[in-house]
Structure 1
């Protein structure tokens, strides 16, 4: 499952990669909090459930707890982060810090997702949750710009696949699509909760010409991907790792694509892959054996993402650095992943093109020249 063969080149460092203009499509707001922020927010509301009041220890706990090989166990860690994100001030702070942290990592465009229905315990209405998060992103982007780190953040509103509010959240996404919400998503444990349970929401979104992605092909296999595409009409696949199950190797060792894999590649369906998270949840055995290597070689529309920066103890730069080490990728590969992501974003075409031609390609060209 290697990448595209190329002459040996100097390995890129994490610091070099951090300077690259990157694009992130799959990042959960409640999976990216700073440990010190969790502690301060918990103290402010009297939440006593944290496993540690030391920021370093707490960060290590999240990573260890998520590193179980089980998606269900991985999802349990969100109980603590969601618990401290129940007020307008908390949501605004977390969103602002998210934008700042991504910008500091060299991300120039990000789509960050969260489930509004999970932030109502202190009495907020759904609209108040969305408005608080949008205000936070605006504040964080302004702060980052003040430091010379320009970033554009689009929001995805997520519905939980085990709940029954997907149509309501879809309507919310459409209502706020001119205020920074660029799309819709469903998330949560795949097994036993197929995306077809939410057909009403997806049909509504299509009637409204709205964009949506679906978590599929992470903990569950090809049927989840097939339903997300052929029944629900997803624009992108959240993870999509298990599409590799429809790629077979014959006696000559050459890969052969099944009908579904061929469809995904031919239709240029974007795959929102999150290498470290996929290893943690058991969707992949290791970074070195991650299907992203084969899928890159076969030129699927692959993108690289963080999923949950807190639980995985990662950044987008760190994800790229791991792939560089595993597959000997160079600047051309990282640019390819980045352009893929920008092409697949849920913002208008002219905005995508402006970022590709105005920031991404010039940024990578400068890095290639500087590291020759």
Structure 2
């Protein structure tokens, strides 16, 4: 073949991809939700077949409100309370991402939400990581190897963030790569959890923060200036600090700092539209931020709720903003540069997997 491969959904699936922002409880297979619900006697699902359930999740999440979007997780979390449920969901997560061409994935979840059946926090993490390892093995056997890393999330409206930070450090050499806080932003600023972030920094451990999704610039400012985050989960509202001028876009103090320090933005296009963070894909600030050379990355957020994959997200961006293979390669390398794994591993995946994979597609 000479010349670039045509950019289609099928060809994008062949491209090596890296995802930094994917929620375990937001990526279940609908059929798995049904089967696990039956196994544990959970009878509150809004639909009784996989197709209808998938449609319900998508439609319920497409509300324009982060708070209403988050309500859909009650059903997925409910079926992830047992060792069997956690292992299966984690295994299938790895298999599904690998089948979509993802070669590196950081998948996050909140252990504190999975204690209803009597598991301890450590047992929740243990079974989840075991599932990831099973999924990695299955993906390798299928010829689609993937590296899975777990991020532990604390809910920002709760009071267990220090405990989850300690759990993160305890498991960091056994499959956990970092820490996060998530949940409704309004009324729950990142600075409420300074004790957890201080602990992470004292232990030289990685962390990202959901900020600048449903709440504006103050959330980003706190996450960066007070909490010292390495990455911003979403961060789309950084555009509140970018104004138009006769000489082109003018960056304010926060936006300049985020760009200068190469703080990665974990952008999730479809999810950002669903939660009302942006009005539509064509109005998404991804392209503006990419052209201004922020370190933008492409992510899924919640594959079930958004009915999406990494390939779908990349195709939407390519069709909307005219991106080609070199652009998608740059966004993928941005993600790998920002990964919470040691530098030699990041470099190996970039040099031995990502660049060769895109070279084939570029012809």
Deviation of residue 289 (structure 1)? 1.0
Alignment of 1:123-134 (within 5 A): 123-134=118-129
Deviation of residue 11 (structure 1)? 5.9
**Is 1:96 matched with 2:82?**
no
Partner of 1:275: 269
Structure 1 alignment gaps of length 5 or more: 1-8
Task: Find the partner of 1:58 among 48, 53, 65.
Answer: 53
Runs of 4+ in 1 over 2 A off after TM superposition: none
Task: Quote the Cα distance in structure 1 between the aligned partners of 2:167 and 2:270.
Answer: 31
Partner of 1:291: 285
**Is 1:38 matched with 2:33?**
yes
Q: Is the 8 A contact 2:112 2:154 kept in 1?
A: yes
Task: Quote the Cα distance in structure 2 between the aligned partners of 1:271 and 1:121.
Answer: 33
Task: Quote the Cα distance in structure 1 between the aligned partners of 2:102 and 2:352.
Answer: 14
Task: Find the partner of 1:82 among 70, 74, 77.
Answer: 77
TM-score norm. by structure 2 comes to 0.98
Deviation of residue 251 (structure 1)? 3.6
Task: Quote the Cα distance in structure 2 between the aligned partners of 1:24 and 1:148.
Answer: 19
3-state SS of 2:282 partner: coil
Alignment of 1:144-223 (within 5 A): 144-223=139-218
Alignment of 1:259-338 (within 5 A): 259-338=253-332
Deviation of residue 12 (structure 1)? 1.2
Partner of 2:136: 141
3-state SS of 2:194 partner: helix
Alignment of 1:66-77 (within 5 A): 66-77=61-72
> How far does the alpha carbon of each residue in 1:299-328 deviate from its partner, in whole angstroms, 9 at most, with x for none?
100000000000000000000000011001
Q: Is the 8 A contact 1:11 1:324 kept in 2?
A: no
Q: CA RMSD in A?
A: 0.9
Deviation of residue 359 (structure 1)? 0.2
**Is 1:117 matched with 2:109?**
no
**Is 1:342 matched with 2:347?**
no
Structure 2 alignment gaps of length 5 or more: none
TM-score norm. by structure 1 comes to 0.96
Task: Quote the Cα distance in structure 1 between the aligned partners of 2:46 and 2:55.
Answer: 11
Partner of 1:4: none
Task: Quote the Cα distance in structure 2 between the aligned partners of 1:228 and 1:119.
Answer: 26
